[in-house]
Structure 1
Amino acid sequence: MKNVGETREAPMGTPQDDLATGEHSTRGRVARSILDHGPSTVAELADRLGLTAAAVRRHLDALVADTVVEPREQRVYGSRGRGRPAKVFALTDCGRDAFDQSYDKLAADALRWIATAAGGGEKGEAAVAAFARARIAAQIEAYRGSVEAAGPAGGARALADALSADGYAATTRAAPGGQGEQLCQHHCPVAHVAEQFPQLCEAEKEAFSQLLGTHVQRLATIANGDGVCTTFVPRTPHGAATDSEPLTERTAGRNPA
């Protein structure tokens, strides 16, 4: 009978995705056991999970490489016996965050409270929009120097680089028809909250427009179920497009995802 720890597993995505989506891979079970029981030795993990020590070490090596867990010397309280303390494996902050799903709920609850405190209805929506604009303004101000230094021709690329440094995995590509560029954000840290509060996406689009000095058009968002947040950045100066053919999804180019 083949040991469960020696079965061949399907390739994994990022460790955070694997753990957060609850896939019952053996590697995820190892990490979950450490979360539930605290820093653990190889022997303890093997005993709890019914795996061989060799199988546990293999999965721990992968988790260490992915910065999900880290090895430490076991803390000993009271008198310590002879010999080196046993090595234990503990979750890193990155690994712990993969299991923690409370941040989105906290943010959504806070925005809901803002809307209610402002009186609900249109007043509540306006209050959330004001918060969204203030939030993105503080973030985008840090990008201004590099975007302005890049000039009109390189502004979108500089913005993508700045967004990538903040975890948005942003790229640019030429838009179909040669009218401009598509700024693509392949990751959105606030996507789940933005599903409930689209003011976050709208404020971001407005901030991009102000920073780049031209109107931009949002073609797709992760919060709306698209694979990528895609923003069309025209090469024409602000307002010039309105003098000729208005921007549409056909003229701007479709979302590449």
Structure 2
Amino acid sequence: MHGTPSLPPGRLSGPEELRNNGVVKNVGEATETPTGAPQEELGTGERSTRNRVARSILDHGPSTVADLATRLGLTQAAVRRHLDALVADDVVEPREKRVYGARTRGRPAKVFALTDCGRDAFDQSYDKLAAEALRWISQSAGGGELGDAAVAAFARARLAAQAETYRAALEDVPAQERTEALAKALSADGYAATARSAPVGEQLCQHHCPVAHVAEQFPQLCEAETEFFGRLLGTHVQRLATIAHGDGVCTTFIPRKETTQDQVTDQATTASASTAGRNPA
């Protein structure tokens, strides 16, 4: 359930857009963008070139301005301008070039390297790795029901490691405000969560799920999270919809104590109908 702070949706693979920087002002050399092109096209060209600069650093490692200019066929002034923007966005960072052997006179050349944030902007295989790890856990436990139980145990243990942080967020919070407090704590972890009133209780909505692709294959992750919410809130809760299932949001129903099971079922039916067939936002 824990989300690493992530870049905006739409990760990179080669020439695609690196972050959404909008239309870039002070468009540079005519060698990069044709004269008289619409401002929106110029901005798109700027972003495309900026992506090439970041991609070149990814492919070749920490690079000097001169290295990048030669590789990409740009002027050094243009490269510096793009690097300044990438540094401002925490995509790259300047470093002193590491010198091996005897050091020559003068200041060492400055190189630019990707930050952790910059690396995360490019396509990663974390989802594939996580799914393979859970599949290995399942198979090592014997597969079938035993395998499912092993994955479920892992999912619960993963959440238990985060429990203290969430309990602290709900500590001393009045019962009627605990769902809202949980939503704020989840948002701080990247889940874009909100709480809203429902006819016979409240709904906790998570508009983003960092593990959605893995949870499609291993629903135990969603089930463990639902149990976790119930323990935190001190009441039985019911998951009505999940992004992993193809719904627009992950929705958890928190009933008032006097709510009947029939009312809970009605909430589930309504939520399923309202999110059926919707892809994650």
Q: Note whether the superposition's TM-score is higher than 0.5.
A: yes
Instruction: Find 1:186's aligned residue among 204, 207, 229.
Output: 207
Q: Which runs of 4+ in 1 moved over 4 A?
A: 13-16, 250-257
Aligned to 1:6: none
Aligned to 2:254: 233
Q: TM-score, normalised by structure 2?
A: 0.74
Quote how far apart the aligned CAs of 1:37 are: 0.9
List gaps (5 residues or longer) in structure 1. Answer: 1-12
Instruction: Find 1:208's aligned residue among 215, 229, 240.
Output: 229
Instruction: Find 1:122's aligned residue among 145, 156, 162.
Output: 145
Instruction: Find 2:193's aligned residue among 164, 170, 173.
Output: 170
- Secondary structure of 1:90's counterpart equals strand
Quote how far apart the aligned CAs of 1:88 are: 1.3
Using the alignment, how far apart are the partners of 1:128 and 1:98 within structure 2? Answer: 29
Using the alignment, how far apart are the partners of 1:22 and 1:195 within structure 2? Answer: 29
Instruction: Find 2:217's aligned residue among 196, 199, 209.
Output: 196
Using the alignment, how far apart are the partners of 1:194 and 1:241 within structure 2? Answer: 30
* Amino acid corresponding to residue 139 of structure 1 in structure 2: Q
Q: Aligned in 2, Cα 1:33/1:194: closer, same or farther, shift over 3 Å? A: same
Percent of aligned pairs with the same amino acid? 73
Higher relative contact order by CA 8 Å / sep ≥ 6: 1 or 2? 2
Quote how far apart the aligned CAs of 1:220 are: 2.6
- Secondary structure of 1:181's counterpart equals strand
Quote how far apart the aligned CAs of 1:144 are: 1.4
Instruction: Find 2:156's aligned residue among 130, 133, 142.
Output: 133
List gaps (5 residues or longer) in structure 2. Answer: 1-5, 18-47
Instruction: Find 2:131's aligned residue among 104, 108, 113.
Output: 108
Verify: 1:79 aligned to 2:86, yes or no: no
* Amino acid corresponding to residue 149 of structure 1 in structure 2: D
Aligned to 1:36: 59
Quote how far apart the aligned CAs of 1:104 are: 2.2
Using the alignment, how far apart are the partners of 1:98 and 1:173 within structure 2? Answer: 32
Verify: 1:27 aligned to 2:50, yes or no: yes
Quote how far apart the aligned CAs of 1:91 are: 0.8
Quote how far apart the aligned CAs of 1:113 are: 1.5
Using the alignment, how far apart are the partners of 1:21 and 1:217 within structure 2? Answer: 42
Q: Aligned in 2, Cα 1:245/1:108: closer, same or farther, shift over 3 Å? A: closer
Q: What is the aligned residue count?
A: 241
Q: TM-score, normalised by structure 1?
A: 0.80
Q: Aligned in 2, Cα 1:68/1:208: closer, same or farther, shift over 3 Å? A: same
| Partner deviation per Cα, 1:110-161 (whole Å, 9 max, x = no partner) | 2112211222112211221222122223323431132142121111121122
CA RMSD in angstroms comes to 2.9
